[in-house]
Structure formats: C-alpha cells, structure tokens
Amino acid sequence: MMGEQQKVVSLDRGLFYVSYKSAADVASPPHVTVVPMEGHEGRMELILHPDATEPTLWEPNSGLMVRVNAPGTLQIKVEPMRPGGSRGAMVRIEPIQSGRGPLAAPGERAALHANVAVEGLKVLSHVAGRGDVVVAPNTWIAGPTAPSRIEGIALDWPEKPVGLDIRYAVEFANGRGGSGKMVSLGTYAGTRGRALAITGVVLEISDEGFGFVAEATFLNAPTLRAVGKRVVLSGPTSREPLVGIRIGVNRIAAADNVMIPAKPARKPVGSGRVRVFCSRASRENSVD
C-alpha cells in the first residue's frame, strides 16, 4: 500500500488496550490499522467498538482491545489520509490486569480490568422531552443514535470508597448563571424545563486508584472520548449543545504498569513515523 508504514509488536498472553494517542498532523491524521501477523490470527482476537466494522483507528483518541490467548505478534499499519500526507502517529499498547487473586482487604485497591464498571455508581441526566433519566455507568444517555438536548447531570455513588471525592460542573453558553460551578457527588448541576442546553462538562476525582472514562456528543460534532482524573468535554467552539453523554469510573492499574518510554530509532527516514509504546516494555519502538 503506497505510503504505508508498518510496525510489529510481540505480545504475551493477556488483554491489551491499543490506543491512538496523537498525530503529527492533527488536521489530516493518518489512520492506523491493527491486525495479527499472518499465521498468528488464531492466537489473538480483536475487540472493536460496537459501531466499528474494521480494526482501523481513524483519528487520535480512538482505540480497540486485543485478547491474546497465546504469545503472538501484532502488526500495526499506518497510512496517510491523503497522498503525500503525514504518517506521524503515536500508538500506545497497555496491558490490562486480570484482577485474579485473593480479595483485597478493606482500604486496599485491587488492580482490576480497566473497563470494569464501578458497582453502585449511578448517572442522572435531565433530557429534553424525556425528563430525568438514570443509568448505570458506561451507558449512553441520549447519544449518537438518539441525540437529545441534555440540561443537567448528577452522579450518585452511595457505596463509594472512603476518602474518594468526586466533583463536577456543567457549562452554559454565554456563561449564564451557575455555569462552571463545581458541585459535590449527589448534587444536581444544571437546569430543568428551561430549554437551557449544556455546552460543557467537567469531571474530577480525587483518588489515585480511579479515573473517569467519559464520552460526549455535541450537536453537529464528532463524539468525544476523554480519560483521566480530570475530564473536560465540550464541542469544537464550546457553544454546541450537549446531546449525549456516557460516564464511567474505572479502577486504574497499579503504578508499575505506567509506560516507560526509552530511546527512539537512530535514523528515521521519510516524512513521518508511528511510535508504539508498550507499557511493559523498556523501549520506544519507531517505524520509519
């Protein structure tokens, strides 16, 4: 394939998250395709987003899961969006802990699967024409398939770990009353029945062992996904109404799983490269 770059990565048995972190050309990012090496198809399986039809990541902040049943090799292909376009992309491969082992004693954190929903958390949103809607974490309210104006949100978690604090805020166009005011867990942020759309959401969590995974859809804009202890969601101009949201709180793997970048390839060739970081590896791999 003209202009394509490739990188192969050896993976041990386990579960891995492959994320497209950034691109050198943000206006015309290359797309990244993830497939097993020929002959290794039976050793691993790819777990795609429900809306995806192929293992291609079209832009940064997208990803997929790889379940490796036996040690094998993964192939990462990068192709520019347009002829002569940039091939510079950063891809990170992170292992996900199985969570197997004895139950953690009170106050201890178990390193659990990064996509496991936290039990007891509830997400409430006031949706125009529907009223208050309450869902479990990682569940869409309105959203890409049924967009509708969202006027307020609240998070409730009666069984949250001791010492963990969550705060959040909503923002309105033109900075109207209450815009950007942080509130505590269990407090409703927003309005009801005033046709006042939310244009931004901020989520914060205090505990080092947890992080937010949130997605949001703003009118006439692509769906956004953000992960971290502090998450900020808004449309391209910060004025687009929020028409869908999905919020989850996940446990974060232990500190020894943090990525450790090392030396890049010595002699890069071409107009760009894909950089692949493996969290359990001690090197940075570059494809030229």
Segments forming the whole domain that contains residue 62:
5-98+255-287
Structural tokens at position 77:
């292909």
Which is more confident, 112 or 75?
A: 75
Query: DSSP class of residue 174?
Result: G
CA distance 77 to 226: 24
- Same domain for 263 and 239: no
Cβ neighbours of residue 155 closer than 8 Å, sequence gap 6 or more: 121, 122, 123, 124, 166, 168, 185, 186, 247
Residue 117 counted as domain residue: no
pLDDT digits (tens, 9 = 90+) for 22-77: 888 888 899 999 999 888 988 999 998 888 889 999 999 999 999 998 888 888 88
Look at residue 24 in the predicted model and tell me its pLDDT.
Answer: 84
pLDDT value, residue 265: 37
pLDDT tens-digit readout, 119-148: 688 999 999 988 999 998 889 999 988 999
Residue 112 lies in a domain: no
User: How many domains would you assign to the chain?
Assistant: 2
Copy the structure tokens of residue 264.
């890049």
Question: Is 19 inside any structural domain?
Answer: yes
Local structure of residue 81 (DSSP, 8 states): S
Residue-wise pLDDT tens digits, 251-282 = 764 333 223 233 333 333 334 555 655 554 33
pTM: 0.50
Predicted pLDDT at 124? 95
pLDDT of residue 277: 58
Residue 111 counted as domain residue: no
Residue 18's DSSP bridge partners are 64, 93
φ, ψ at 264 (rounded to 5°): -80, 170
Taking a C-beta distance cutoff of 8 angstroms, is the pair 40, 8 a contact?
Answer: no
177 and 272: one domain? no
Tell whether 139 and 173 lie within a shared domain. Answer: yes
- Average confidence score pLDDT of the chain: 79
Residue 162, amino acid: V
Q: 278 and 164, same structural domain?
A: no
pLDDT the model gives residue 49: 85
Q: What is the mean pLDDT of residues 162-179?
A: 83
Residue with tokens 């808004």: 234
Residue type, 23: A
Find out whether 199 and 219 touch, Cβ atoms under 8 Å: no
Residues 54 and 88 in one domain: yes
Domain co-membership, 245 together with 126: yes
What gap in Å lies between CA 278 and CA 93, rounded to an integer? 5
Query: Is 106 contained in some domain?
Result: no
CA–CA gap between residue 217 and residue 225 (Å, rounded):
9
Q: What is the pLDDT of residue 170?
A: 95
- CB 132 within 8 Å of CB 150: no
**Is the domain of 221 the same as that of 273?**
no
Structure token pair of residue 255? 């500190």
Q: Which amino acid is at 277?
A: F
